[in-house]
Amino acid sequence: MTAFAFVFPGQGSQAQGMGKEFFREFALARQCFEEAGDALHLNLAQLCFEGSEAELQLTANTQPAVLIVSAAAWKVLHAETGLRPVAAAGHSLGEYSALLAASALTLPEAAAAVRQRGAFMQDAVPAGEGAMAAILGLTAEALARVCEEAAQGEVVRPANYNAPDQIVISGCAAAVERASALAKERGAKRAIPLKVSAPFHCELMQPAAERMAEVLRSISWQKLSSPVISNVEAKPYPGPEAAADLLLRQITSPVRWVESVQAMAGLQAEMFLEIGPGKVLTGLIRRILPEAKTLNLAVPADLQAVQKVR
């Protein structure tokens, strides 16, 4: 039997209509949308299927929307195949989906947590004062030096180590702009400003982390049914008692995605299955491990490919 790693996308993977096919074809998926929606007093189906691009890009909406689409796809996968992963991980927001798939918390708890996480992160920095940019073609060491030089008393730092040749920086808008220009001077192939509502995964998110502390510590964390790799440490959670601390640190710490993928490979993962909207993580995994085998589960038709290799 193939050893699967489950990976769950984060913000940036959202798209209008996401999850609609699962909702239409599976009662279990509809139950997921209803259960999470009831917890939030929010019509998640309407948001995902009919919401405008502007509505979906609001962080407080994006986070529960991406989570519910991933959760519905995973629930159907589990019901149809019984598959259990040798390891799982999620990119930023996706870590909540990974923990949900490992039975560490319930769907209403996860939905409520990410809804508040999104709102707190959106509110942490006034609009226009923060920024993020993807830097292509510089090493982590070279980009760290660029950020140090470009900071000039402001915040700018690596936020997402997405692939060996793609690192996202985050911080004060002017500092990110300086770092982007300097990175290109130092040999970066491209510096791409990202359309985000806040500068995630840097110390400017500390107000959000402080507000999330009570939320995360009120959750009744359960024993994980399979290993989940944390973004912060790029190694498996030691136990449910670490969840609140790791997720709080995640808000202000870089996403160590390259190391997380390598950690899953080290746990003998033979196939990486991206569960949820988009194919962002699949592309990154192929750049991290060119020999990796990957699949996506974004629509019900994808179940056939999973069944063939399981």
Same domain flag for 114 and 43: yes
Residue 163 has pLDDT above 90, yes or no: yes
> Which of the residues 13, 180, 201, 253 is marked catalytic?
201
Residue 181 CA: distances (Å) to CA of 96, 151, 177, 188: 34, 12, 6, 9
Domain end, chosen from 196, 226, 252, is at 196
Kindly report the backbone phi and psi dihedral angles of residue 87, in degrees, each rounded to the nearest multiple of 5, phi listed first: -165, 160
Measure the CA–CA gap between 105 and 237, rounded to whole angstroms: 14
For the chain, the C-alpha Rg in angstroms (whole number) is: 18
What's the CATH code of the domain at 242? 3.40.366.10
Q: How many domains does the chain have?
A: 2
Same domain flag for 187 and 285: no
Domain end, chosen from 169, 196, 223, is at 196
Kindly report the backbone phi and psi dihedral angles of residue 13, in degrees, each rounded to the nearest multiple of 5, phi listed first: -95, -5
- What pLDDT does residue 310 have? 83
Measure the CA–CA gap between 188 and 118, rounded to whole angstroms: 31
Residue 199 CA: distances (Å) to CA of 36, 41, 46, 203: 27, 28, 28, 9
- Is-contact 35 70, C-beta < 8 A? no
Same domain flag for 208 and 303: yes
Domain end, chosen from 196, 228, 248, is at 196
- What pLDDT does residue 196 have? 86
pLDDT single digits (tens) 259-288: 999 999 999 999 999 999 999 999 999 999
Same domain flag for 109 and 238: yes
201 as an active site residue: the answer is yes
Indicate whether this model's pTM tops 0.95.
yes
Same domain flag for 112 and 230: yes
Same domain flag for 137 and 120: no
Q: What is the mean pLDDT of residues 26-40?
A: 97
Question: What is the extent of the structural domain holding 192?
Answer: 130-196
Mean pLDDT check: name the lowest of 54-63, 272-281, 289-298: 54-63
Same domain flag for 240 and 111: yes
Q: What is the mean pLDDT of residues 166-178?
A: 98
Give Cα 218 to chain centroid, integer Å. 22
Measure the CA–CA gap between 23 and 264, rounded to whole angstroms: 30
> Which of the residues 70, 92, 197, 260 is marked catalytic?
92
Measure the CA–CA gap between 189 and 185, rounded to whole angstroms: 10
- Residue 128, Ramachandran bin (φ over 0: left; ψ between -120 and 50: alpha; else beta): left
Give the angle subtended at the CA of 182 by the CAs of 179 and 184, to the nearest 5°: 110
Same domain flag for 175 and 218: no
- What pLDDT does residue 63 have? 96
pLDDT single digits (tens) 193-237: 998 889 999 999 999 999 999 999 999 999 999 999 999 999 999
Same domain flag for 228 and 99: yes
Same domain flag for 243 and 304: yes
Strands 166-172 and 130-136: antiparallel
Nearest residue to 120 (alpha-carbon basis) of 282, 252, 16: 252
Give the confidence band of 1 by pLDDT, cuts at 50, 70, 90.
Answer: confident
Residue 144 has pLDDT above 90, yes or no: yes
Residue listed under structure tokens 């519910």: 68
Same domain flag for 114 and 192: no
Same domain flag for 9 and 54: yes
* Average pLDDT of the chain to the nearest whole number: 97
Give the angle subtended at the CA of 279 by the CAs of 277 and 285, to the nearest 5°: 135
Measure the CA–CA gap between 224 and 240, rounded to whole angstroms: 7
Q: What is the mean pLDDT of residues 90-116?
A: 98
Helix or strand (DSSP H, E) at 132: strand 130-136
Measure the CA–CA gap between 92 and 71, rounded to whole angstroms: 15
What's the CATH code of the domain at 170? 3.30.70.250
Q: What is the mean pLDDT of residues 46-62?
A: 93
Q: Is 210 strand, coil or helix?
A: helix
91 as an active site residue: the answer is no
